Amino acid sequence: MVDAADVQEIVQELDLDSAIRRVLKAASFRDNLAKGLHEVCKALDNRKKPALCLLADNCDEPQYKKLVEALCKENGVPLIRVPDGKQIGEWIGLCKYDAAMNPRKVRKCSSCVLKAFAIDDEAANLVREAVAKNNEIQLS
């Protein structure tokens, strides 16, 4: 059974990385993610403005990065830069898990778009506040 002290400890440990991870995991279950170049470009050009876009810094193709950056800037979509594409792949569920729930066979994903927040919780609020302060965020 979880008591109030445990909940308070969990809330205090929430930083931007873990908040983004939770938001993306919830969105993947509700089909609110666009992943891959074709889906990302369609989502960014959509009349409904997406919540945010994630782009991997280690993307192999420079034109891919320029296209996603330009679409984000043109449509006013917040951009979050992540150092590794495998990190994005793990966050959106492009991996298999072993018995101990450790990610195995993580696939790289160079970009994804969060179309809308799936749930309204403290993680979503933290991400919204960070994006409102700065339209482009670099994660470490």
The per-residue DSSP string of 83-120 comes to S-HHHHHHHTT-SEE-TT--EESPPP-SEEEE-S-SS-
Residue 55 has a pLDDT of 92
- Higher-confidence position of 102 and 86: 86
- Higher-confidence position of 140 and 1: 140
Please name each of the domains of the chain with its CATH number: 4-138 (3.30.1330.30)
Region 14-28 average pLDDT:
87
Residue 124 has a pLDDT of 87
The fraction of the chain above a pLDDT of 90, given in percent, is 24
Residue 124 carries which side chain, given as an amino acid letter?
A
Region 65-90 average pLDDT:
90
Region 63-87 average pLDDT:
91
Q: What is the mean pLDDT of the chain?
A: 84
- Higher-confidence position of 59 and 14: 59
pLDDT, tens digit, 9 for 90 and up, residues 44-55: 988 888 889 999
CA 114 vs CA 1, 48, 101: distances in Å: 33, 12, 24
- Higher-confidence position of 94 and 24: 24
Neighbours of 63 (CB within 10 A): 8
pLDDT, tens digit, 9 for 90 and up, residues 81-98: 999 888 888 888 887 878
pLDDT at 70 over 90: yes
Helix (H) or strand (E) holding 53: strand 52-56
